[in-house]
Amino acid sequence: MISATISPKLTTPPLENGDQLTRVEFERRYNAMPDLKKAELIEGVVYMASALRITQHGEPHADIIGWLSLYKAFTPNLQLGDNCTVRLDLDNEPQPDALLRVKVGGQSTISQDGYVEGAPELIVEIAASTVSIDFNQKLKVYRRNEVQEYLVWRVLDSEFDWFRLKAGEYIKLEPNQDGIIYSEVFPGLWLDKTALLTGNLAKVLEVLQQGLASQEHQDFVQQLAKE
């Protein structure tokens, strides 16, 4: 008697928006859909990305990655991720637009199968507006899991919010009199908010270079080199 072997792909239901799943089942279904580019589990609910517009997402995303890439290039022991899956807890497995983590001695680790586990020090999301999941459910999840700094670029609102975790709550960091926001977790990571929102990437990178030349960043580099 010949027994037929059934392909796992035929027995695994596809992911659907709004599915309520455990993280294990979410990963099983996600892995069975190799052509799927982005799906997230937030508070046990599946969210799947729609097509992304270049002006509302693609270009802002690229600008953020460029800004963080320059910082990483001059700061040792850091890892920058673009749309990486993060295993935060049993009900949450987001895929943030960008993350920055301390590789050795930080608060997250890399699993044997290559995923980030635990909260990266910094996460960035490109959101359409204030009604986005990034500004609501995700903010609560990242706060609870102790992501130290959470940045949300609300493109349609022409607004950029930079939150710092303090005493279990997110406090919004405001620009100084020169319009610059300073990271409190990554010294030297400076952002000219107005330049970013107006598309002046050259000014954004110029201000970052000033941060990289600061004494605070030099001290941070020496600290990281000892890890």
Q: Note the pLDDT tens digit of each residue in 134-188.
A: 888 999 999 999 999 999 999 999 999 999 999 999 999 999 999 999 999 999 9
Please compute the mean of the pLDDT values over residues 85-104 and round it to a whole number: 95
Domains of the chain: 13-51 (no CATH), 54-225 (3.90.1570.10)
What is the pLDDT at residue 130? 67
Q: What is the DSSP string of 145-178?
A: TT-SEEEEEETTTTEEEEEEEETTEEEE----TT
Cut 0.75: pTM above it: yes
Residue 207, pLDDT > 90, answer yes
